[in-house]
Chains A and B, each alone.
Chain A
Amino acid sequence: MELNTIKDAFDRVAKKQKLSSSKTQEVMEQLGQEIEQALSKIRSVHDNTASQLDHKLILTELKTKLKEIAPLSHLEGTQKELNIALSKYPKLLEKSFNPDLAKAYRNVDFDIHTVNQIIASHFYQEGLFDLGDCFLSEAKEADAAALKTPYLEMYQILEAMRSQNLEAALNWAATNHDKLQQNGSDLELKLHRLQFIEILQKRGRDEAFKYARTFLVPFASNHMAEIQKLMACLLWAGRLDTSPYSELLSPIHWDKLAEELIRQFCNLLGQSYKSPLSVTIAAGVQGLPTLLKLMNVMTGKKQEWQSMKQLPIPVDLDREFQFHSIFVCPVSRDQASEENPPMLLSCGHVLCKQSITKLSKNNSTRPFKCPYCPSEVEAGQCRQLYF
């Protein structure tokens, strides 16, 4: 596809359109003039006594003249050129693009309510509360706003953080202390650290020390090094920017912390960090070209396509869409499953259980050659792997 060619083709259409439009103008102008001329002629013969005949003559003259000019036939030429350009351009589009995206569409009914719910959740997750509300009321979905309240809370916390207010964030982190710890997140400590630095900068050493004693001490057992660093900051009160710890003042910490908060908040909500709708659509954009190519070779097998349990070809997606470990046996090309798990041979190569059974002729002590190296291995010595 060459966008420039398409642009050129469109410019041609626009040019022909202009041409046709000015030609129309011109012809119309001419027609008007002729009529007005005739009109003034009739008027000018006003005093003439033989006028009865004259105005008829003028009208007939006008009629023949208009016939001669044939204004509409003048337009035909430019119109024809315009029409050619108009029909060429969509053909070029069809050639350069995939004209029918629905070719790979499976005729299953997508439940409208489910889709609407997904869209509303997407709006709420992105912080577009007005749009979400508007959408739900227009789509007449009454109870799809479940995620609105929690996301409202999240955006309020973030809003406060933007104006350097950590109160709400700290409250939230304290309430969810246990869950955060389960996730292995040190978000709470990071928030306290930021608050500590804020106090140190704005309210001085004593206040900061007090804060540390109340809020940082509980973290001492697990994060000694971090706490020690913060205590050292107390010595640099008032001139932290020239201290070895000036890095702590960087505004980057705020951004990073906001991101971490969103991540943890969504996680505790049972939601993903990125809107699942955007992720799926992005995956769709990457996968669709392959599916459309597949449909080109599947012509005549439309029926088969509608009922397939698995895609006949791999659809390659970027790294970011890889959420699960998938082991494909290099011998049988089967995807590993619970019944057919991946096994580690003693030489370090990995095959699926069924392949090993076949290679060893179902004898656990009979050595067989690894298909990937010269080692002799035994089925009995193979270990199941968990990815």
Chain B
Amino acid sequence: METLSNGTTASPTATATVVSSATVTAPSSKLTQLAESLKLEHQFLRVPFEHYKKTIRANHRIVEKEMSAVISSVAEAADGDLSREDAVQHLNSLVSRLQGLKRKLEEGSRTEHLQAQRCRARLDHLESADTESLSEWNNTRLTRILVDYMLRLSYYDTAIKLAESCNIQDLVDVDVFHEAKKVIDALQNKEVAPALVWCADNKSRLKKSKSKFEFQLRLQEFIELLAFKSSTECATYKVLFETKQWDYLVDQFKQEFCRLYGMTLEPLLNIYLQAGLSALKTPFCYEDDCTKEDPLSQESFRNLALQLPFSKQHHSKLVCYITKELMDTENPPLVLPNGYVYSTKALEEMAAKNNGKITCPRTGSVYNYSAVVKAYIS
């Protein structure tokens, strides 16, 4: 535990430098917090870059393939016994082939350019986060997280609509998921072909991560070819024919897909929800008088948090029942004779309004302000 607290205290100095030039007035704790939250944005920069890289590689492969084809075709012609007309025709076809390649490359470099721009837009977006205008930035982040969730769950229409309504198309990965959509749709229709094409396209990377996905696809394809389909009663084999197998393949594909693009395997929404719920969860959240402002007062949030750990506090954090303000040295807690505690501010105000009388809002007892005593919380 000690090493951890050392780690947390050491980091502010290291990370605060990031944004310090942008805002000098904001307290350093806010800056540290912002810097820490920006560090969570790995996927935000990584995914468009992987997409960009993929396009570059694919374009280059085309060039290599076409050019060597042209060259070897020339060699063939030279070695062969062509008539003059044939030779002219042959070379002509090569010229037009090169022209075709040129057009293809122009198109390819347009895509590359767009994708590079997207990478830049994301860097700029991260840079635009400063402590002054954080709430708008945070809203955008929530939208991004929601779009990520929808894309992963194949709710494409809503994802696109949401991105458009907030004008953040460059900040979400709709394009990338388009590629996934084709494969997923096919798998849901019990077709493996598009998935196999995808595997071939990403062969080297899948190999690197020792993926078994292609094997599983082949296996499924093989099973489907078997004639005695689903009629088998033998449990060991019967399970192979269940439609669940296809759902399993879809899940597998999603995992491979996310890994390839450097995305988290879980939707960002789930990750942030878990972290948030754990940090917010206290035994008091489950009491009937839990304030509605606490998300954990809602049944749905309570359900999600059920299996998550409670938060831990090393120091007391007291919130005034009346004003909902923090009770600290500036606004110290005062104790009524009945043991109920309220903030100085709240009681002073109440006493001022009611000729020095204080009514405990929870028990209805009435006391003189002079009867309250200070509590020292350390």
Contact = CB atoms under 8 A, between A and B. Distances in A.
A209 interface: no
A267 B63 CA distance: 64
Contacts of A266: 292
Contact of A59 (B77, B112, B333): B77
Interface of A: 1-3, 6-7, 10, 14, 17, 20-21, 24-25, 27-28, 31-32, 35-36, 38-39, 42-43, 51-52, 55-56, 59-60, 62-63, 66, 71-72, 75, 79, 82, 86, 89-90, 93-94, 96-102, 104-106, 108, 110-112, 114-115, 117-119, 121, 128, 130-131, 134-135, 138-139, 266-267, 270-274, 276-291, 293-294, 296-297, 308-315, 317, 319, 321-328, 330, 333, 335, 337, 344, 347-350, 372, 383-387
A35 B95 contact: yes
A105 B283 contact: no
A308 B310 CA distance: 9
A197 B196 CA distance: 72
A284 B15 contact: no
30 contacts: A2-B17, A10-B119, A24-B60, A28-B102, A39-B91, A55-B87, A63-B77, A93-B42, A99-B262, A128-B165, A130-B161, A278-B142, A281-B145, A281-B273, A284-B271, A285-B138, A285-B275, A314-B313, A325-B318, A325-B321, A326-B313, A327-B318, A335-B283, A337-B283, A348-B375, A349-B375, A372-B376, A385-B335, A385-B341, A387-B318
A111 B304 contact: yes
Main SS of the interface on chain A?
Answer: helix
B245 interface: no
Interface residues of B, number: 135
Contacts of A317: 279-280
B275 A287 contact: yes
B42 A350 contact: no
Contact of B282 (A104, A282, A326): A326
Contacts of B77: 59, 63
A310 B165 CA distance: 40
Contacts of B209: none
Interface string B8-26: 1000000101100000000
Contacts of B340: 385-386
A267 B292 contact: yes
B294 to A, nearest CB: 4
Interface in B62-106: 63-64, 67-68, 70-71, 74-75, 77-79, 82, 84, 87-88, 91-92, 94-95, 98-99, 101-102, 105
Interface in B1-52: 1, 3-5, 7-8, 15, 17-18, 33, 35-43, 45-46, 49-50
B352 interface: no
Contact of A310 (B15, B277, B309, B378): B309
Contacts of A32: 95, 98-99, 102
B35 to A, nearest CB: 7
Contacts of B223: none
B307 A106 contact: yes
Contact of A282 (B138, B157, B262, B264): B138
Interface in B246-290: 262, 264-266, 268-280, 282-285, 290
Which 9 pairs between the two chains have the least Cβ-Cβ distance?
Answer: A284-B276, A284-B272, A287-B279, A276-B295, A97-B42, A283-B276, A323-B294, A284-B275, A280-B276
Interface stretch (B147-155, B180-188, B200-208): B147-155
